Structure 1
Amino acid sequence: MTSALFDPLFGADRVAARLDDASWVAALVAVEVALSRAAAEHGVVPAADADRIEAAAASLRIDPAALGRAAVEGGNPVIPLVRMLRSAAGEAGRSVHPGATSQDVMDTAAVLLVGWAGEVVLEDLRGAADAAARLAREHRDTPMIARTLGQQALPTTFGLVAAGWCVGLDRARVRLAEVIGALPVQFGGAAGTLAALHPHGPAVAASLARALRLADAAPWHTERTRIGELAGALAVAAGACAKPATDVVLLSGTELGEVSEAAPGDSSSMPHKRNPIAAVTARAAARRAPGLAAVLLAAADHEHQRAAGPWHAEWQTIAELLRATGGAGARLRASLEGLGVHPDRMAANLALTAEADGPPGHAGELVDRLLAQRP
């Protein structure tokens, strides 16, 4: 859940602002309004009713806490929301929720929320990758020791290290953008057959998708591979953030001192310490992602044509996973955009191992090659 205390610390505040209770309510209402419009487009409900429903929705003031309490009986907030909209729309209330089931509205609202929050996540992933690319260019030929299994190995360059960070972040960002962009509208009715709107069901679904700027698809009520793909893409993106964050933490250690953050954190008991807090909190946020992704993957076994439990487990988990990955990206971006690099310390550490004496192979060429391939 959103937290005024912890979201800024773990970088999730901007993402959380698009995933709070008010955002959920706004997404649910947006789906219901768009559905009435789509149904009116095909003559299923009167166009005047759709107008009145939109106006009623705009004037409706919904308390998320009250909606949550009202949702207990039916097991989801769509049921009481539909009652509220029908009451507010008067006679036009007959045209609220035409041909839909609660899962249609919940799933489509969740897709909208993923898109809204995903904009922030993708922006920070891009910012972190851009910062890594800048470090790679600036330090293309800055020699340092490569370390394998925790031990000094052979010479490399800091530019090649940063270029590797950039590649991972770019790959994760592109894949996540693909998955988010492909998430479709959900509209199938009570049993996924669109029976209530026959013969207009597919046409209404297509219009609903256009209105909400989502992909169109056949009903996917209990076919949850898209949610699994989203979980995987978010978890991979978190992992892509964790790698450079871990390197920054290690390279910032007193014994190495090869990098330092622009705004390091203090210690409450040791004034001499300058902790790489942005990288530390990026790692912390990223650590939560695999477990949250596992919940979504474990909930993929939706039984028959409507799941009793696995579907409900997705709602908050998706939001939590977006916050974890978004937080990791935001804190890593802060770390890399202000990262100080200390070539003198790199040179001193490089000199500790006699076997490390020599050129860093084709490191510079590899930096150029990797950066030239950026999407």
Structure 2
Amino acid sequence: MSIHPIDYRYGSKEMRGIFEEETKLQLMLDVEAALSRAHAKLNHIPEEAANEISKKANTKIVELERVKEIEEETKHDIMAVVKALAEKCKYGGYVHLGATSNDINDTATALQLKMALNIVLKDLKELEGILKKLTRENIEKVCIGRTHGQHSIPTTYGMKFGGFLDEIRRDIKRILEAKESVRGKMAGAVGTMASFDDGIKLQKLVGEDLKIKMAKISNQIVQRDIYAEIISSLAILASTLDKIALEIRNLQRTEVMEIAEAFGKKQVGSSTMP
């Protein structure tokens, strides 16, 4: 059930798809498969076991409905994934070998975050290009400057768009840094890797397989300051976008009408007014 406009109207299909249950399940299965391949490379399990687990780690085989059935019994989301995958495999006993729940969950979340931030960065680069073009095109277009909403001295639209451009570039830098901070983990119940032989090598292999950096030190979970940094960077970005949108809104008021949003031929702005 949708509870926020981003869920159904304003969020992109591409972004929503990353956070759907089916996608999260597939990413958790990807982590389980990568774990099995790492074990095989270190001769902990037979190669054919890793091959079979990797082949079966697919939502077309391990169905979301079955995972939910098992979760109803176990009351544990990750154990439900493990059991649903294991029951499809001849070598099911090797599934999840030595791992803890958040080795799977947090690493899958890290993959989601990387995918999501890549979309944000793609859109920001597009916006950067638009603002760069507007800055150049309007570098000498004079307009009244305002301070505290009151007329001040003249400025140019090139300056206005240039200010937006400069801020968006700082946002891009922050999002890139936040993306760089994303980490997965494969370190066992409390981060000591005691449940693995060659734990450091195994975690490295999993990270390389999934093309994601792994936490140098963790406990049960990947530390949440990483998530806080991402949320903080996105909050600053949202503030920038709000400022740009508010400026456009104010400058297209009827009594100002300096600029206007694009408006389609069949588009309407009200169900009652023309």
Q: Same fold (TM over 0.5)?
A: yes
Identity between Structure 1 and Structure 2 (%)? 28
Per the alignment, residue 225 of structure 2 pairs with: 225
Of residues 220-229 and 73-82 in structure 1, the stretch that sits farther from structure 2 once superposed is 73-82
Write the distance in 2 (CA, Å) between the matches of 1:149 and 1:218.
49
Deviation (angstroms), 1:61: 3.1
Deviation (angstroms), 1:169: 1.2
Please list, as runs of the form range in 1=range in 2, the aligned pairs for 1:238-253 lying within 5 A after superposition: 238-253=238-253
Write the distance in 1 (CA, Å) between the matches of 2:179 and 2:83.
31
Deviation (angstroms), 1:73: 5.9
Query: Structure 1 residues 4, 203: closer, same or farther in 2, change over 3 A?
Result: same
8 Å CA contact 2:184–2:222 kept in 1: the answer is no
8 Å CA contact 2:82–2:96 kept in 1: the answer is yes
8 Å CA contact 2:106–2:222 kept in 1: the answer is no
Q: Is structure 2 residue 93 aligned with structure 1 residue 55? A: no
Which runs of 5 or more residues in structure 1 are unaligned?
A: 272-375
Deviation (angstroms), 1:7: 4.4
8 Å CA contact 2:175–2:233 kept in 1: the answer is yes
Query: Structure 1 residues 20, 193: closer, same or farther in 2, change over 3 A?
Result: same
Q: State the Cα deviation string for residues 77-119 of structure 1 (Å, max 9, x = none).
A: 21111001111112x1121112110011000000101111222
Write the distance in 2 (CA, Å) between the matches of 1:61 and 1:2.
28
User: What secondary structure does 2:97 align onto?
Assistant: coil
Query: Structure 1 residues 26, 3: closer, same or farther in 2, change over 3 A?
Result: farther
Deviation (angstroms), 1:243: 1.4
Q: Tell me how large the CA RMSD over aligned residues is.
A: 2.2
Per the alignment, residue 204 of structure 1 pairs with: 202
So what's the TM-score if we normalise by structure 1? Answer: 0.67
Write the distance in 2 (CA, Å) between the matches of 1:217 and 1:68.
30
User: What secondary structure does 2:40 align onto?
Assistant: helix
Per the alignment, residue 159 of structure 1 pairs with: 158
8 Å CA contact 1:195–1:201 kept in 2: the answer is yes
Counterpart of 1:267 (choices 246, 267, 270) is 270
So what's the TM-score if we normalise by structure 2? Answer: 0.90
Query: Structure 1 residues 213, 151: closer, same or farther in 2, change over 3 A?
Result: same
User: What secondary structure does 1:152 align onto?
Assistant: strand
Write the distance in 2 (CA, Å) between the matches of 1:75 and 1:219.
29
Deviation (angstroms), 1:122: 1.1
Instruction: Report the AA paired with residue 14 of structure 1.
Output: E
Deviation (angstroms), 1:23: 1.0
Per the alignment, residue 45 of structure 2 pairs with: 45
Per the alignment, residue 71 of structure 1 pairs with: 71
Write the distance in 2 (CA, Å) between the matches of 1:12 and 1:230.
19
Which runs of 5 or more residues in structure 2 are unaligned?
A: none
